[in-house]
Structure 1
Amino acid sequence: MSGRANAPAAQDAIDADSISETIRQALHFGSVRPSRDERAAVDEILRGHVRLLLGDVRAATERQRHSFEAEQLRKRMDRIEQHLNHPFGQGLLTADAEVHQRARDCQWLLAHHTARVGW
């Protein structure tokens, strides 16, 4: 695992390349066997990315009209936010599942952020 990805501070700008690298590392865990500590470290970085992206995407969604799509986005973001409150799993299978889910959540949020910025 590289030490390239760092947990973002609240004031940091969204660095899509860094976030993508962290997502790649987390999803790569299915083909390698990192230690629980390595998984936990990547999970913590992902949590920071998710918090940062969640705030950005939620703010953009709030500016949209009350449409079906906006409501679906809000529901998904609520589920992602609830998942942030769960502690990191103690078992390796649970930890793997949580890191992968958090990576997918982060990937989804990054896609929405990137699509909005690209408009």
Structure 2
Amino acid sequence: MWPTLSIGTPCPLRPGPSEPAPDSSDFGADTRSTTEGTTAQPQLEPVGAATAASRARSVPLDLGTVRYTISRARGQSSVPLHYAELSQLESELCSYISRLLPAAKEAADKLWHGGTAWHQRISRLDGIERQVGQGLGPGVLSAHVQVQQLAKDCQWLIDHQGQQQ
């Protein structure tokens, strides 16, 4: 299940370092055993996450808004962006990517596993997931590079959306 987020919240595919521990009474714990026979940390999933995710997915993405965000992220405005603006763009792009990625993964799963097309597609999707997990970094330059890469990844997902159906 892919998490969804609203614009302005931290990226769901990257855990925040200062997030408080969730109250376990609100979550269903899923423990899985490791190869050593010990129990791994429980993986917590919010009880209402499925309904929130399905509601967010039922609202279609406005591709005009997404493309505008991509053009801002790629620096097609005349004003240089500050770290706070780059952080906002990263949050928006992560939101769009988290909404586009599940369909792209489903489409890749329909391809023959082992074929060149499947390998290329799944490698690109894995790269997008890793890129989302990178974070902005400490400076404006690293944040600018990260936001531009997320914009390219988001554009790639949009461009290949038609091939997924």
Aligned-pair Cα RMSD in Å: 2.2
Q: Residues of 2 paired with 1:89 and 1:73: CA distance? A: 27
Q: How does 1:64-79 map to 2 (within 5 A)?
A: 64-66=111-113, 67-79=115-127
> How many angstroms does 1:31 deviate by?
4.7
> How many angstroms does 1:32 deviate by?
2.7
**In the comparison of the two structures, how many residue pairs are matched?**
112
Q: Which consecutive aligned stretches of 4+ in structure 1 deviate over 4 angstroms post-superposition?
A: none
More strand per residue: 2
Equivalent position of 1:114 in the other structure: 162
Find 1:99's aligned residue among 119, 137, 147. Answer: 147
- Alignment TM-score, normalising by the size of structure 2: 0.61
Is 85-94 or 40-49 further displaced after alignment?
A: 85-94
> How many angstroms does 1:29 deviate by?
5.8
Checking the alignment, whether the CA contact within 8 Å between 1:29 and 1:96 is kept in structure 2 is no
Query: Which SS does the other structure have where 2:160 is aligned?
Result: helix
Q: Which amino acid aligns with 1:19?
A: V
Q: Does 1:41 align with 2:88?
A: yes
> How many angstroms does 1:79 deviate by?
1.0
Query: Which SS does the other structure have where 1:13 is aligned?
Result: coil
Equivalent position of 2:49 in the other structure: none
- State the structure with bigger RCO (CA 8 A, min sep 6), 1 or 2: 1
Identity of aligned residues (%): 29
Equivalent position of 1:18 in the other structure: 65
> How many angstroms does 1:115 deviate by?
3.9
More helix per residue: 1
Checking the alignment, whether the CA contact within 8 Å between 2:136 and 2:143 is kept in structure 1 is yes
Query: Which SS does the other structure have where 1:89 is aligned?
Result: coil
